[in-house]
Chains A and B, each alone.
Chain A
């Protein structure tokens, strides 16, 4: 129980690392572009958790500010990313990234 009650910095970092790993996994393995974008969101949020955790345990408000910026950026990124995906779909009639390899060679 102590593990559950005495929540320290390591807990946050562990959660963040897991979240980063999931996100990375999604980016690397999924073929659907939208899922990849979701993986990117997970990675960004893992970084947010790190910012907030260090902010809480080290004091100061810089980490909080950074996380707010990251959330804004993530929103913008999602908008841009989805727009790109829609355009890709228009061109290739697919959102499967494995088939989109015209930049090869």
Chain B
């Protein structure tokens, strides 16, 4: 076993150990055992960092891959299915190593932060236990090398999310939110499972590599439409977990959970798992499936951004921002900007975790006030929080010199390239929505910064009866500091500050790339490169042969290169076909030419999109910068200089304002259609149950009773009658015959004599005749 595999198993199991210790023994440990959670996660992070170091930094090979698996369940030859072997395994490549480091780092920081934020909570120890099992499940998703394993961990993160959203389960809203999250995820997971089954039915394996190899070899026995369907069904898992339209409704409600949970699960890691999963199966997505993904991502990004601009709750703004940014990632994958989408996943994870932890610090300092209308002027009281929050905001808005700028720009460049390569028309909606959302993002984040940190404190403006729901949940949250400074807003302690600083530092461009304008020159996009598709580019076509041959890199390279227009020497490497196919020349090339140029695709469609994306890089930078500046200026104009009065503007476009404020009425629409539909359906079914099913059962019972009655009568009168008659007959006969036995010898003699006489009479009559 490779030493990295051993280390990754340790990384996977340590958080589970933390969970087991804390869930059983937290009340018997000093400080409820929080030091165990933090310590174990610290160790886990250290190991992950070592893995990251040896995989990404030392080997510096885009095609690095270590796979290890073992047979978990061998069901033998199942009739009607064939040999059924379920394997468990671990794959470590650059993406895995980066994700491991990212997840464990954020998890560690959130653990540390929670020692401050959650202190005094009656279920303090349990909180850390839940964080442990969540981290375990998330690492399982990252490390899994097959669809079955990822599905298991997928459900486990769903469970942890459920437990943590409903951490304050005394609150009805939290209990409702956790149910909503679980059910919405369930809808997506069903689709994902069906997708897995479609692939399994064809290849009898769950392993990514085997599925991709089989696809590349053209062994998919069904039509191309089935493959598209499988891709879209698998994407449904992402729609649920990554809160894409139409299943996005659960994520904003999930903010009922404690804020560190929002940072860890509902901003940085779990919701990114959907994107990560789509990236894992990226090579089997057909062009049609990718189009669906791109449109859903673009729509989600736009819709969530429009909602975020009118929300009052500080966490809700961030939640919709998360949905919007996840939409960007999905959009990025849909348009084929694979590296960019994953880059954005990582950068977003850091700055959004920073924003959530910052909002947690604000909420903590404001004594659980979450409404931005009653904040203001916190800049002076909380300088550390202000600085880190602002830096992360700039990254989210996508200002140059931040990580978010590079990754968002790469996605948008990909979107433009995609639209160009697809021939424009309707496809320009995708980059348009992307850029428009970028402007909205800048606007709502500028609004948030201004409302929270600048101006004068508006705490006194809050209506007395408008008690925020957050209060009740934290009634037991009697922190000593709160009593000392009942009304003063103060900076948070060091254990909450340190994570903010670390995360803010990771939002700076220099961490990822030497060139602040081009993320493609950085290590991330060199190490995580778009894998060549294994399904070909015949969009919706049934030309299976073309699709297969297009994936043979060595054979088609000659045709592909002219089409691409780049005479690069590097081999095209196909993740699905063979990991060894990757060349050593990749890294240097990629560093020099960026994502598109350093990578030559055997597939013409991928190649043309990558090429177009590369060309669209500079326009994208320009447009997105303009958009961001526009958004921030608008925020300044509205909230700082008060040239446009926000309230009056809202009143003048009241329908639009209400449309946004009420979140596009999705909850109401779902209530009216799906939920009420379910209720009506259940009533109909109930009626059918009581009247038809029960009626049938009762009818059967009545018939049975009649039959039994008849049968009983037959039994009683005929069968018993026969038996009783026999007995009666014998009895009567015996009663008559017993008279013969008088006990008197003389009677017998008389009878004997009569018998003899009778015999003689008979004898003689016979003799005479």
B743 is an interface residue with CB less than 8 A from chain A? yes
CA–CA, A28 to B746, complex, Å? Answer: 5
Contacts of B738 in A (CB 8 A): 105
Contact among A24, A98, A103, A105 for B753, CB-based, below 8 A: A24
Which 9 pairs of residues, A with B, have the shortest CB-CB distance?
A104-B743, A101-B743, A103-B743, A105-B738, A101-B744, A28-B746, A27-B749, A104-B742, A28-B750
Taking CB atoms and an 8 Å cut-off, the chain A residues in 73-105 that contact chain B are 97-98, 100-105
Taking CB atoms and an 8 Å cut-off, the chain B residues in 706-754 that contact chain A are 738, 741-746, 749-750, 753
| B750 and A102 form a contact (CB under 8 A) | no
| B749 and A98 form a contact (CB under 8 A) | no
Contacts of B753 in A (CB 8 A): 24, 28
- Tally of contact residues, A, Cβ under 8 A: 13
| A101 and B749 form a contact (CB under 8 A) | no
Of all chain A residues, which has the CB nearest B753?
Answer: A24
| A97 and B745 form a contact (CB under 8 A) | yes
| A97 and B741 form a contact (CB under 8 A) | no
Contacts of A101 in B (CB 8 A): 742-744
CA–CA, A24 to B752, complex, Å? Answer: 11
B745 to chain A, nearest CB (A): 6
Contacts of B746 in A (CB 8 A): 27-29, 36, 97-98
B88 to chain A, nearest CB (A): 89
> Apart from A28-B749, A104-B742, A104-B744, what are 15 other A-B pairs with CB-CB below 8 Å?
A27-B749, A28-B746, A28-B753, A29-B746, A36-B745, A97-B745, A97-B746, A98-B746, A101-B744, A102-B743, A103-B741, A103-B743, A104-B741, A105-B738, A105-B741
Contacts of B749 in A (CB 8 A): 27-28
Q: List 18 A-B contacts (CB under 8 A).
A: A27-B746, A27-B749, A28-B746, A28-B753, A29-B746, A36-B745, A97-B746, A98-B746, A100-B743, A101-B744, A103-B741, A103-B743, A104-B742, A104-B743, A104-B744, A105-B738, A105-B741, A105-B743
B755 to chain A, nearest CB (A): 14
CA–CA, A52 to B670, complex, Å? Answer: 130
B188 to chain A, nearest CB (A): 92
B291 to chain A, nearest CB (A): 107
Of all chain A residues, which has the CB nearest B746?
Answer: A28
Contacts of B750 in A (CB 8 A): 28
Of all chain A residues, which has the CB nearest B744?
Answer: A101
Contacts of A29 in B (CB 8 A): 746
Contacts of B744 in A (CB 8 A): 97-98, 100-101, 104
CA–CA, A24 to B753, complex, Å? Answer: 9
CA–CA, A23 to B743, complex, Å? Answer: 21
Interface bits B425-439 vs A (CB < 8 Å: 1, else 0): 000000000000000
Contacts of B742 in A (CB 8 A): 101, 104
CA–CA, A45 to B399, complex, Å? Answer: 154
CA–CA, A24 to B749, complex, Å? Answer: 9
CA–CA, A76 to B269, complex, Å? Answer: 124
Contacts of A24 in B (CB 8 A): 753
CA–CA, A36 to B745, complex, Å? Answer: 10
CA–CA, A24 to B750, complex, Å? Answer: 9
B760 to chain A, nearest CB (A): 13
Of all chain A residues, which has the CB nearest B738?
Answer: A105
Contacts of A97 in B (CB 8 A): 744-746
Taking CB atoms and an 8 Å cut-off, the chain A residues in 46-70 that contact chain B are none
CA–CA, A29 to B744, complex, Å? Answer: 12
Contacts of A103 in B (CB 8 A): 741, 743
Contacts of A98 in B (CB 8 A): 744, 746
Of all chain B residues, which has the CB nearest A31?
Answer: B746
Contacts of B745 in A (CB 8 A): 36, 97, 100
- Most chain B CB within a 10 A radius of its CB, from A29, A98, A100: A98
A18 to chain B, nearest CB (A): 16
Of all chain B residues, which has the CB nearest A102?
Answer: B743
- Most chain A CB within a 10 A radius of its CB, from B741, B743, B749, B753: B743
CA–CA, A36 to B738, complex, Å? Answer: 25
Taking CB atoms and an 8 Å cut-off, the chain A residues in 1-50 that contact chain B are 24, 27-29, 36
CA–CA, A103 to B738, complex, Å? Answer: 11
CA–CA, A27 to B749, complex, Å? Answer: 8
Of all chain B residues, which has the CB nearest A24?
Answer: B753
A53 to chain B, nearest CB (A): 20
Contacts of A102 in B (CB 8 A): 743
Contacts of B743 in A (CB 8 A): 100-105
B731 to chain A, nearest CB (A): 14
A41 to chain B, nearest CB (A): 15
- Most chain A CB within a 10 A radius of its CB, from B741, B745, B750: B745
Of all chain A residues, which has the CB nearest B750?
Answer: A28
CA–CA, A103 to B745, complex, Å? Answer: 10
CA–CA, A28 to B753, complex, Å? Answer: 10
CA–CA, A103 to B748, complex, Å? Answer: 12
CA–CA, A100 to B753, complex, Å? Answer: 21
CA–CA, A29 to B738, complex, Å? Answer: 22
CA–CA, A28 to B741, complex, Å? Answer: 16
Of all chain B residues, which has the CB nearest A39?
Answer: B749
CA–CA, A29 to B753, complex, Å? Answer: 13
CA–CA, A105 to B746, complex, Å? Answer: 16
CA–CA, A36 to B392, complex, Å? Answer: 139
Contacts of A104 in B (CB 8 A): 741-744
Contacts of A36 in B (CB 8 A): 745-746
Of all chain B residues, which has the CB nearest A27?
Answer: B749
Contacts of A105 in B (CB 8 A): 738, 741, 743
Of all chain A residues, which has the CB nearest B739?
Answer: A105
CA–CA, A53 to B150, complex, Å? Answer: 125
CA–CA, A104 to B744, complex, Å? Answer: 8
B601 to chain A, nearest CB (A): 115
CA–CA, A105 to B734, complex, Å? Answer: 10
CA–CA, A70 to B491, complex, Å? Answer: 145
CA–CA, A98 to B744, complex, Å? Answer: 6
Of all chain B residues, which has the CB nearest A40?
Answer: B749
A36 to chain B, nearest CB (A): 8
A43 to chain B, nearest CB (A): 10
CA–CA, A97 to B738, complex, Å? Answer: 19
A42 to chain B, nearest CB (A): 14
B570 to chain A, nearest CB (A): 121
CA–CA, A31 to B742, complex, Å? Answer: 15
CA–CA, A36 to B744, complex, Å? Answer: 13
B730 to chain A, nearest CB (A): 15
Taking CB atoms and an 8 Å cut-off, the chain B residues in 294-322 that contact chain A are none
Contacts of B741 in A (CB 8 A): 103-105
CA–CA, A36 to B748, complex, Å? Answer: 13
A40 to chain B, nearest CB (A): 10
CA–CA, A27 to B267, complex, Å? Answer: 126
CA–CA, A29 to B750, complex, Å? Answer: 10
Of all chain B residues, which has the CB nearest A99?
Answer: B744
A89 to chain B, nearest CB (A): 15
Contacts of A100 in B (CB 8 A): 743-745
A35 to chain B, nearest CB (A): 11
CA–CA, A103 to B742, complex, Å? Answer: 8
Of all chain B residues, which has the CB nearest A33?
Answer: B745
CA–CA, A100 to B748, complex, Å? Answer: 14
CA–CA, A100 to B749, complex, Å? Answer: 15
CA–CA, A87 to B753, complex, Å? Answer: 27
B171 to chain A, nearest CB (A): 93
CA–CA, A27 to B741, complex, Å? Answer: 18
A32 to chain B, nearest CB (A): 11
CA–CA, A29 to B741, complex, Å? Answer: 18
B742 to chain A, nearest CB (A): 6
CA–CA, A104 to B749, complex, Å? Answer: 15
B738 to chain A, nearest CB (A): 5
B592 to chain A, nearest CB (A): 127
CA–CA, A72 to B741, complex, Å? Answer: 33
B753 to chain A, nearest CB (A): 7
CA–CA, A105 to B750, complex, Å? Answer: 18
CA–CA, A77 to B750, complex, Å? Answer: 21
Interface bits B107-131 vs A (CB < 8 Å: 1, else 0): 0000000000000000000000000
